[in-house]
């Protein structure tokens, strides 16, 4: 890599190499300027197969994305569609271009006082316009990458990445190939456009007033006009394992928890359920006790045996109550959510460590403390299942036939079943929960 078209060291014979240099002579860019003409006039010496790296700031200025904003925070709000994480005044957000970054990309540097600079509306379109303009002006076929500065999870420091691209293979999919030792590559997709952007930043710098760089020697990276653009670099929500900050993830998991009544046949990962149990037993409990137990019914035989016994007990109760056979069939059918689930968990309450006062009022309060703690554990369990992208439904039926459940599952007499939780992969999108105004549930003194 060298700092000018003709400078730099010499690579060993036959070894791959490329050159990158900054383009000097660029004027101050103003709204309405034709960037391709300004770049061509700066004399970058472009040839077919070169790749042009253009800082997004000058693209935004040319496209009139400078706006008056006495309050930068208000501008960030306007560009934000989702807060990913927040710590003090710092916000990592998803902006209207679909990029996850600090402050939505709103920049108060290199712009007049009282104004802020927004990212281009469509950086891929901006890159295409520059590429087309250079083809018309200079007659060259080049790739164009629009770059911006990002921080990265788990890594200190900033680097430039591609937010727009045209005529460039933004991703190099190596899956299906082999490495130098013949091992298959099953997950290797190289972010080529980001690597180009970072290389350009080494010569453009952050404060040198050099917004454009050229890479030469990588013609295989330059593609036709049908390249997908930098949008292909943005990971979809379904595939993004790190979509949220810590507090936001907790809130979303709580929000995602829905009662799911229809499940697919996809097996449930027992490890995911055990991780949910691990979250459940972090709930608070009285007297430093552990009042939770979870019975996991992982075999179809164990689930059927329990549910058949519960059904028979329920029918007997309903007949004793004088219900009609039609009513009994209808009521028993409500338990189908448990029968159709590929996995069941039965949370139980144990009173080990509880106090006995010999006073009905205090003994009742003691049990209620333990029930509340067990309920907190069940809620933790349900929320953690949602975080594992598993659907669930808590059904209270085991509480009405505890002796039957204990007998079928061979549980100690001191274990009190607190319902059953159906677990599985939702067969469809759960119905939206009706909005609830938290103020309606508050009393302030």
CATH of the domain at 33: 3.30.1330.100
- Are the C-beta atoms of 300 and 418 separated by less than 8 Å? no
Q: For residue range 318-330, list pLDDT tens digits in order.
A: 898 898 988 888 8
The per-residue pLDDT for 425 is 94
> With 80 as the cut, is the pLDDT of residue 434 above it?
no
Residue 373 shares a structural domain with residue 402: yes
What is the CA angle 83-87-92, rounded to 5?
Answer: 35
The per-residue pLDDT for 167 is 95
Segments forming the whole domain that contains residue 201 = 19-65+120-239
Please indicate, yes or no, if residue 250 is contained in any of the structural domains.
no
The whole-number average pLDDT for the span 170-174 is 86
Q: Please tell me whether the overall predicted TM-score, pTM, comes out greater than 0.75 for this model.
A: no
* Total domains present in the chain: 2
Determine which of 38-42, 213-217, 382-386 has the lowest per-residue pLDDT on average.
382-386
| Alpha carbon distances (Å) from 149 to 99, 157, 234, 310, 348 | 12, 10, 15, 61, 52
CA distance 116 to 57: 11
Helix axes 360-387, 246-256, angle to 10 degrees: 100
Residue 291 shares a structural domain with residue 219: no
Please indicate, yes or no, if residue 85 is contained in any of the structural domains.
no
CA distance 144 to 132: 10
Domain limit, last residue, from 190, 209, 239:
239
Domain limit, last residue, from 205, 239, 273:
239
Residue 217 shares a structural domain with residue 294: no
Residue 176 shares a structural domain with residue 262: no
The per-residue pLDDT for 8 is 45
């Amino acid at each position: 890599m060298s700092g000018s078209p003709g400078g730099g060291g010499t690579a060993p014979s036959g070894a791959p190499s490329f050159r990158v240099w900054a383009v000097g002579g660029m004027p101050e860019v103003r709204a309405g300027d034709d960037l391709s003409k300004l770049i061509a006039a700066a004399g970058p010496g472009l040839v077919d197969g070169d790749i042009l790296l253009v800082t997004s700031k000058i693209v935004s200025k040319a496209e009139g994305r400078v706006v008056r904003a006495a309050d930068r925070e208000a501008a960030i709000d306007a560009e934000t569609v989702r807060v990913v994480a927040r710590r003090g005044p710092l916000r990592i957000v998803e902006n209207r271009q679909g990029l996850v970054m600090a402050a939505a990309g709103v920049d108060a540097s290199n712009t007049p006082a009282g104004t802020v600079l927004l990212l281009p509306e469509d950086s891929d379109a901006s890159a295409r316009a520059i590429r087309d303009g250079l083809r018309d002006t200079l007659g060259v076929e080049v790739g164009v990458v629009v770059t911006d500065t990002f921080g990265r999870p788990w890594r200190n420091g900033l680097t430039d990445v591609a937010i727009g691209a045209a005529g460039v293979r933004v991703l190099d999919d190596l899956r299906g190939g082999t490495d130098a030792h013949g091992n298959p590559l099953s997950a290797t997709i190289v972010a080529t456009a980001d690597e180009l952007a970072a290389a350009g930043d080494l010569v453009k710098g952050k404060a040198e007033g050099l917004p454009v760089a050229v890479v030469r020697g990588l013609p295989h990276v330059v593609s036709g006009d049908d390249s997908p653009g930098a949008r292909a670099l943005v990971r979809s929500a379904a595939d993004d394992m790190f979509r949220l900050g810590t507090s936001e993830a907790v809130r979303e998991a709580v929000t995602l928890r829905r009662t799911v009544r229809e499940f697919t046949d996809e097996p449930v990962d027992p490890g995911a359920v055990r991780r949910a149990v691990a979250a459940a037993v972090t709930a608070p409990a009285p007297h430093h006790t552990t009042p939770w137990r979870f019975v996991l019914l992982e075999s179809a035989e164990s689930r059927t045996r329990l549910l058949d016994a519960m059904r028979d007990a329920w029918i007997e109760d309903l007949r004793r109550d004088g219900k009609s056979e039609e009513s009994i069939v209808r009521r028993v059918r409500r338990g189908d959510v448990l029968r159709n689930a590929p996995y069941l968990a039965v949370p139980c309450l144990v009173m080990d460590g509880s106090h006995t006062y010999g006073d009905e009022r205090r003994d009742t309060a003691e049990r209620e403390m333990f029930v509340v703690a067990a309920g907190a554990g069940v809620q933790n369990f349900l929320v953690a299942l949602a975080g594992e992208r598993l659907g669930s439904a808590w059904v209270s039926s085991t509480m009405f036939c505890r002796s039957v459940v204990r007998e079928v599952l061979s549980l100690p007499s001191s274990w009190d079943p607190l319902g059953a939780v159906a677990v599985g992969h939702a067969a469809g999108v759960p119905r939206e929960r009706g909005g609830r105004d938290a103020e309606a549930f508050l009393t302030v003194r």
